[in-house]
Amino acid sequence: MSDSTPQHQDQLPAHLNPKNYPQTRTHPSLNIHLTLTYTPLNPQTHINTISSPSAGANLLFLGTTRDTFDNRPVTTLSYTTYPILAFKTLMDIAENAVKEHGLLGVSIAHRLGEVPVGECSIVVGVSAGHRGGAFRGGEEVLEQCKERVEVWKREVFGDGGSEWRANGERDRDGNLR
Amino acid sequence: MATFQIHYFSIASSYINKNTEALPAPLPLNRLFDTLESRYPGIREKVLQSCGVSVGDEYVDVDEADGNKEGEGRVIQAGDEVAIIPPVSSG
């Protein structure tokens, strides 16, 4: 679906104003840390936050912006969110992963606004006693984020067009469903 | 005039070229899509049919809102924060 950016910026709601970010939520007893921010993500921060002496496996996933979509050159990507829902969904995903995979910590951070090609748009960090839980839990968190979190990506192409993306159109290998 | 605020994202915001607006309240939830269709012809088929709707921090079922035969379906009240939620694309 081709489109243009909304122009009525005079009515910019609070959740679209970068001045109101970063925003964070934590669940201290489950060691869950959630971040939505317009500034570059620092992956090390998000693994440091959750690591602990009892966690022998610490997994860090970085999703970075890609320069093509269906072989069309992508020049710019930007993300928007609705934090009232996004944080609720992120916390649900993290809590479920802790329960199902015995995770000792979960950190999820998503960047907003324009993200230059090659930079991090999402960081998922999980820690567990052993690698099995970390791998399974980390993958589950990422797949759930892709499917559910109220964040939207807009790609601007080198030929001038732009499109809002929908994750449901593609599987984890990038193939059309 | 009493109003509620409605936020638009992704394909919804692009379709109407707005991020947010105030609409008159109260409004029965099962009238929401009709109201938007009358303001933005074509939006139901091109956008809304693939979207969720939230009131506050809860998703609501627009179709079930008219399921109550007594006509006591949910009503959007003045001051409510409503959002049109298109398919997501995080990551």
CATH class given for the domain over B3-85:
alpha beta
Whether the CB-CB separation of B22 and B5 falls below 8 Å is answered with yes
Whether the CB-CB separation of A109 and A25 falls below 8 Å is answered with no
pLDDT at A4: 47
pLDDT mean over A94-112:
98
Chain CA centroid to CA B40, Å: 12
pLDDT mean over B78-84:
98
pLDDT at A159: 86
Asked if the Cβ–Cβ distance from B17 to A79 is below 8 Å, we say no
pLDDT of A177 over the 90 cut = no
pLDDT at A174: 87
Where residue B66 falls among pLDDT bands split at 50, 70, 90? low
B57: nearest CB among A5, A85, A165: A85
Q: Positive or negative, the Cα torsion across A27, A28, A33, A34?
A: positive
Task: Name, in order, each residue with C-beta under 8 angstroms of B4's C-beta and a sequence gap of 6 or more.
Answer: B22, B23, B25, B27, B76, B77, B78, B79, B80, B81, B82
Q: What is the pLDDT of residues B12-58, one digit of tens each?
A: 999 999 999 999 999 999 999 999 999 999 999 999 999 999 999 99
The domains of chain A are located at 37-62+80-151
Chain CA centroid to CA B20, Å: 11
**CATH architecture type of domain A37-62+80-151:** Alpha-Beta Complex (3.90)
Q: What is the pLDDT of residues A58-86, one digit of tens each?
A: 999 999 999 998 888 998 899 999 999 99
Distance CA A147, CA A162 (A): 22
A168: nearest CB among B14, B19, B87: B87
Asked if the Cβ–Cβ distance from A164 to B10 is below 8 Å, we say yes
Q: ipTM score here?
A: 0.92
